[in-house]
Each structure stands twice: as structure tokens, then as C-alpha cells.
Amino acid sequence: MMLKPEAVRVIAGTSSKKRLMQELGMIAEAAYGVSRREAVEALLEREALGPTGVGHGVALPHARLKGLDQVVGALTLLEKPIDFDAVDRQPVDLAFALFAPIDAGAAHLKALALVSRTLRDPSLCAKMRANRDPATLHTIVTEAKAAQAA
């Protein structure tokens, strides 16, 4: 799974889940060249099946897209948490979106499991929330991911 440094953003003014999905679509388009419209539609379609807010302020929206040859990610830290219909009813301020090729199969599920395990670590999430620099956030999450994968 790939997370480019330019796919990590700190967002000041997102007010809703739909706005966040639009931000994630813009990030995916800028970092990976996918269609923003298709990314947003796919995220919202997946979200309609059931909320991807996994609890403790973390959401893992994900979708399959044409034009990708590997699983890629986009990470956002929201300065103001938003309602996300999360399992624990807590507002979300960390969202890690995964975009997978249409036929990704197991690779998509493996990436989702890895990100989920990584972001279940309360001290890691606290460290991320204490930082407002995208480059630092990228380093924190990629080092943690490498440790998880080992």
C-alpha cells in the first residue's frame, strides 16, 4: 500500500462527512491522478452500505476505483472533529481513506486490516493529533505501518 507525502493533509474547515469525502477525492486526484468525481462517488456509495467510522475518532473510508494498479491511501487530520455516524458515536478527526483497484481482492482487505491495526493504537493517534504538520504525520504513520507489517 502506498501513502504519498502529498496525500497527507491537515484540514481546517470541514463541516460534514460529505465535505470530508470531497476533500479525500481531491487529495486522491492530486496525489494519484484518479478521477475526483469517481473517488467521491465510490466513497459515498461504500459509506451508504454502513459507516466506516471505526471508533475513537478514526474513520477508514474506502473504495475501489478504475485506473489504479495498487492500493493507495489518503490521510486527513481534521482540526475540528465531525459527526461520522461512528460505531461509538464519537466525532471523527482522523480519516484514512483507501483506494483500491477494481479487482484488488485480498490486497484491498490486507491494506484495510493494516491501517485499522495501525490506527487502533491510542498513543499513535495521540501523537498524530498533537501534530499539525503533514510531513510529520506522514512520517508517524508510515513508521508505525512499517512496524506493524514487520
- Active-site residue, selected from the candidate residues 56, 62, 108, 138: 62
Q: What is the mean pLDDT of residues 47-60?
A: 94
Count CB atoms within 10 A of the CB of residue 90. 15
Contact 22, 89 (CB under 8 A): no
Domain ranges of the chain: 5-145
Model confidence over 64-120: pLDDT tens digits? Answer: 998 899 999 999 999 999 999 999 999 999 999 999 999 988 888 899 999 999 999
Categorize the per-residue pLDDT at 145 as very low, low, confident or very high, splitting at 50, 70 and 90.
confident
Point out which residues pair with 11 in neighbouring strands: 78
| 62 included as an active-site residue | yes
Angle, CA 38 vertex, CA 50 and CA 34 arms, to 5°: 120
Q: What is the mean pLDDT of residues 36-54?
A: 95
Give the domain 5-145 fold: Mannitol-specific EII; Chain A (3.40.930)
Grid coordinates representing 80? 475540528
Tell me, what's the pLDDT at 150? 61
Instruction: Please tell me whether the overall predicted TM-score, pTM, comes out greater than 0.85 for this model.
Output: yes
